[in-house]
Amino acid sequence: MSRIHRLDPIVANQIAAGEVVERPASVVKELVENSLDAHSQTIDVAIDPGRLGIEVRDNGDGIDTEDLPRAIERHSTSKLTQLADLEHSRTLGFRGEALAAIASVSELTISSRPHGLDNGHRLTVTFGHPGAVSLVSLNPGTRIVVDRIFEQQPARLKALRTPAAEVGAIQHTIQQLAIARADVQMRLTVGDRIMVDTPGHGNVQAALLSIFGRDLAASVVPIEYRGESGLYLHGYVAPADHHRANRFGQGLYVNGRWVTNWALRAAIEEAFRPNVPDRRFPYFWLWLELEDGAVDPNAHPTKAEVRLVGEHRVRALLHRIVKEALTLASPGQIWSYGDAPKADPGTLAEPLQFEWTRPGVPGEGRPGLHQHYRDLVPLAQWRAKYIIAQGPEGLCLIDQHAAHERIYFEHFKNDQMSVATAQPLLLALSETLSATEWAAFTAHRAALAEWGFDVESLGGTTVAIRAVPSAFHDLTSHQGLLRTVLELLGGEESTAGLEHPVTWAQEAYYAMAACKAAIKANRPLSMLAMQSLLEEMSRVQDPRGCPHGRPTLWVLTIEEVDRRFGRTGR
């Protein structure tokens, strides 16, 4: 008896669908890309957050009645007829797999009316089983409704993250596509809340403004470069002082397609180093136009990854152009010791005070753990950034911000209440949150309140911040503070099984709190303030570096100085 048999076509489609439809966001990406290929000028996506139902409406070309049954068949496409066509295809979809894959793992209803016709037609496919085509009344364009997704694939259904996280992934997808095609108006509605709404005027900065807010959109640096062989690079990067805890503020588009290419992404990120801290990621949105034959878009089932001819050359170019743009946009200002920015009259005369110590000598009553810090004698402050001190080992440079950051970090870990106490703001701040930030906000709203944040939703993804943790009371600006915390909570790490929903992020949060509260560069210090800082550093558990990994102290030995001056003896 034969043990080999041919799979039922529907079962085969359901298995193959896993390559294309990984999660609801994959469905949205495929459907919106189809709408873009159909020359749509407006695309509306509506999500039912409870059951993750999806509806995509556009005003594109529409699908002819006789083509509706073919549209949901695997490998049915209007974009290719032979393999050679792939080298010249600029459409986002071309394999004819998306609708077939989606229809095999859900209940899909597709309604379409081409322009010039009085009526449209509708077709419903239930887990791969098509129904009859029927007449329907609708505006020109296409409307697709996807429901009951993965209902017959329980393992896939259980693998989905929380509804808030899945909605966040959908919002991130729409944001990327909206930036890639700023000439198309895109709107995402989740329940009764509009999450994304871009104007569609073709202005990328206007799209960035609607998604990331005014501060970031106003700070981006334009890039434009034309090279040989038809290479054209253009787009925007944000200055290095804008960064976040994940890569959701990055977009790389090759020949109009939103893609993932880790080699190119790494080259771009490297251009921001060392000005972006470790485990933080810069913002950029770059379009790379290449000759058709130089791009292979068929390297991944979802077309998210591409292969390039001469990729090493493109990597080097991206790194150089981005680095030059950042350098020209942010030349910086060099302060000498004598012309550092002046503080208030009392600043230089008053010692630096640490909130958690009793009045009197900072840290009084606690034993010193690191004698070499207690033995340091401050001599001067260099460029209002480094403390120059003399010690038994030699001449020492201490990074005042990194050192103070370490002190605050250990204090916050040992006394969590100093972080969790709420400090009301005189004027409420408004923030427009991104996809993952909004998902983290909705998932951890109660925990944020425990930490000292008082946040109220204003509509869409905009919130009002009325109070912040008391650790940040001395900041000159609290803008972006909530977003920084939400980025820590919005990563892909699962919080399942933890005692507290934010337990995994607490150390990162304390590190961020310490960074915000610590003295900054270009802050003049008195001799007493420098001595106070060194005294506190002798009492921390680990004075070697700040919580982000940067060193706090560098020693220049007398032997090194002698060698530099050519001294061989006494």
pLDDT in tens, 182-231: 999 999 999 999 999 999 999 999 999 999 888 889 889 999 999 877 78
Return the axis-axis angle of helices 400-414 and 527-537, rounded to nearest 10°.
50
By 3-state DSSP, what share of the chain in percent is helix, strand and coil, each rounded to 5?
35, 25, 40
Predicted confidence at residue 151, as pLDDT, reads: 92
The closest of 84, 95, 217, 520 to 343, measured between CA atoms, is 520
Predicted confidence at residue 551, as pLDDT, reads: 82
CATH 3.30.565.10 residue ranges of the chain are 9-193
Q: What is the 3-state secondary structure (H, E, C) of 238-254?
A: CCCCCEECCCCCEEEEE
Question: Which residue stretches of 445-548 are H helix?
Answer: 445-451, 481-489, 506-517, 527-537
Q: Tell me the β-bridge partners of 107.
A: 126, 147
CATH 3.30.230.10 residue ranges of the chain are 220-329
How far is 112 from 122, CA to CA, in rounded Å? 7
* Strands 141-147, 134-136: pairing kind: unpaired
How far is 131 from 356, CA to CA, in rounded Å? 71
State which amino acid sits at residue 504: W
CATH number of the domain located at residue range(s) 9-193 in this protein = 3.30.565.10
Predicted confidence at residue 420, as pLDDT, reads: 62
How far is 119 from 401, CA to CA, in rounded Å? 68
Report in angstroms the alpha-carbon separations of 398 from 163, 221, 300, 453.
Answer: 47, 33, 49, 33
Question: Which residue stretches of 38-97 are H helix?
Answer: 68-71
pTM, 2 dp? 0.64
Return the axis-axis angle of helices 400-414 and 506-517, rounded to nearest 10°.
130
The residues, ordered by sequence, that sit 6+ positions from 406 with a Cβ below 8 Å of its Cβ are: 514, 537, 540, 542, 543, 545, 546, 547, 552
The values of phi and psi at residue 105, to 5°, are -120, 20
The closest of 304, 287, 219 to 253, measured between CA atoms, is 287
Q: Which residues of the chain fall short of a pLDDT of 70?
A: 1-20, 75-96, 274, 278, 294, 296-306, 329-369, 415-420, 471-479, 488, 490-509, 549, 569-570
How far is 121 from 123, CA to CA, in rounded Å? 7
Token code pair at residue 531? 């001595």
Tokens 């005027």 identify what position? Answer: 201
CATH 3.30.1540.20 residue ranges of the chain are 337-570
Q: How far does Cα 182 stand from its chain's mean position?
A: 19
Report in angstroms the alpha-carbon separations of 91 from 63, 96, 191, 270, 298.
Answer: 16, 12, 31, 31, 12
How far apart, in Å, do the first and last CA atoms of the chain sit?
96
Predicted confidence at residue 486, as pLDDT, reads: 81
Largest CA distance in the chain: 100
The reply to whether CATH 3.40.1280.10 applies to domain 337-570 is no
Contact 227, 241 (CB under 8 A): no
Neighbours of 250 (CB within 10 A): 19
The closest of 407, 343, 345 to 381, measured between CA atoms, is 343
Predicted confidence at residue 110, as pLDDT, reads: 95
How far is 338 from 381, CA to CA, in rounded Å? 10
How far is 258 from 251, CA to CA, in rounded Å? 7
Question: Which residue stretches of 2-71 are H helix?
Answer: 9-16, 24-37, 68-71
Question: Which residue stretches of 139-193 are H helix?
Answer: 154-159, 163-180
Token code pair at residue 485? 């915390």
Which residues in 122-139 are b (16+ Cβ under 10 Å) and which e?
bbbbbbbeeeeeeeeebe
What is the CATH architecture of 220-329? 2-Layer Sandwich (3.30)
Contact 423, 465 (CB under 8 A): no
The residues, ordered by sequence, that sit 6+ positions from 117 with a Cβ below 8 Å of its Cβ are: 62, 140
Predicted confidence at residue 337, as pLDDT, reads: 25
How far is 70 from 100, CA to CA, in rounded Å? 9
How far is 378 from 390, CA to CA, in rounded Å? 6
Contact 555, 390 (CB under 8 A): no
The residues, ordered by sequence, that sit 6+ positions from 508 with a Cβ below 8 Å of its Cβ are: 245, 488
Predicted confidence at residue 352, as pLDDT, reads: 36
Predicted confidence at residue 233, as pLDDT, reads: 93
How far is 451 from 565, CA to CA, in rounded Å? 54
The values of phi and psi at residue 265, to 5°, are -60, -40
Token code pair at residue 520? 């900054």
Contact 281, 247 (CB under 8 A): yes
